[in-house]
Amino acid sequence: MENHTKERLQDPTMQVPSLNCIDLADHDLHRSVVSLKQACLDSGFFYVINHGINEEFMEDVFEQSKKFFALPLEEKMKVLRNEKHRGYTPVLDEILDPENQVNGDHKEGYYIGIEVPKDDPDYDKPFYGPNPWPDSDVLPQWRETMEKYHQEALRVSKDIGRLLALALDLDANYFDTPEMLGKPIATMRLLHYQGVSDPSQGIYACGAHSDYGMMTLLATDGVMGLQICKDKNAKPQKWEYVPAIKGAYIVNLGDMLERWSNGFFKSTLHRVLGNGQERYSIPFFVEPNHECLVECLPTCKSESNVPKYPAIKCSAYLTQRYKETHAELSIYNQEI
């Protein structure tokens, strides 16, 4: 635990990076692609505005999220995370930075993925299947609101995916094929943070990590907390706060896109520090199909730039990363 002894909680008014803002309603496609490419090369983080999701609807999604987390723990544990990574994750369930964290993340969450019925041929795949849902008598319209949001966020993800393809000198529809984003693994996660982080004591709202998949769309309630570290190898690491922009997504690239692009695009280290305020956010994690083989894209390799990463199947990669960062479900069986 030596790594966290010298760091102190930073002043949230300090060290704010300038991130590019991508307007999905901009008719100048070239301008959008150039701006996006610059962001992907620099930090892998950018804002997305005019994405088409109604602001009133977003407020309703956050209101419904708050209602779930306000339930008694006993009620929330009825929909505990299952082996397909759907459902409720209690405080300290996840530990993303074991070198620096004393315990797990000081947050609780709720995973919701693509709903796949039992008679679907893909039902047995590790990241497909039915979602556990809170009782509709306890939270009426909750499921309907979350399913609608999942569909909307997936639509926006595919729009961003087309810009990413162009930024990688690929055909705009490159990622739209069934083995990529045509039938993706797309998981949203409701998150609720509480408490005060103290890096000097190894206490974090969310430990430092990079995301596993292709990209993440983050909606927040505006409470400051997210930080990024553009250079993970710097000593000491420099952490910068990312402020929210009302109505905008904060989007970041994941490790799979870094692998796909042969390290050309960046999957950046990020974390969340709590400041005593309650904080709610909703990341939407976008990954390709289970069977997708993530290997160097044709436009990202040459004789002088050979592939840096071995090819790996999407489902195998995700399964390993989830296993590394989440508590064994058996511990909850002992507690119940």
Burial class of residue 119 (count of CB atoms within 10 Å of its CB; 0-12, 13-18, 19+): exposed
Q: Give residue 135's pLDDT.
A: 96
What confidence tens digit (pLDDT) does each residue in 179-222 have? 899 889 999 999 999 999 999 999 999 999 999 999 999 999 99
Q: Give the whole-angstrom CA distance, residue 64 versus residue 10.
A: 31
38: Cα separation from own chain's centroid: 21
| Closest among 108, 173, 186, 176 to 147, alpha carbons compared | 186
- Would the pTM count as exceeding 0.85? yes
What confidence tens digit (pLDDT) does each residue in 214-269 have? 999 999 999 999 999 998 888 888 999 999 999 999 999 999 999 999 999 999 99
Average pLDDT over residues 24-47: 96
In this structure, what DSSP letter does residue 15 have?
Answer: -
> Which one has a higher pLDDT value, 120 or 154?
154
| Closest among 20, 21, 69, 33 to 247, alpha carbons compared | 21
Q: Give the whole-angstrom CA distance, residue 173 versus residue 163.
A: 9
Q: Give residue 16's pLDDT.
A: 61
Q: Specify the 3-state DSSP secondary structure of 61.
A: helix
DSSP β-ladder status, 215-220 and 249-253: antiparallel
In this structure, what DSSP letter does residue 233 have?
Answer: T
| Integer CA distances (angstroms), 219 to 159, 225, 270, in order | 17, 13, 15
Phi, psi of 293 (to 5 degrees): -90, 110
Residue 256 · residue 294 · CB < 8 Å: yes
Q: Where are the domains of the chain?
A: 21-326
With b for 16 or more beta-carbon neighbours within 10 A and e for fewer, the 138-147 pattern comes to ebeebbebbe
Strand order in the sheet with 45-49: 21-23, 45-49, 249-253, 215-220, 279-287, 185-193, 107-112, 87-89
What is the C-alpha radius of gyration for the chain, rounded to an integer number of angstroms? 19
CATH classification of 21-326, choosing from 3.40.50.300, 3.30.43.10, 3.40.50.12280, 2.60.120.330?
2.60.120.330
Average pLDDT over residues 37-50: 96
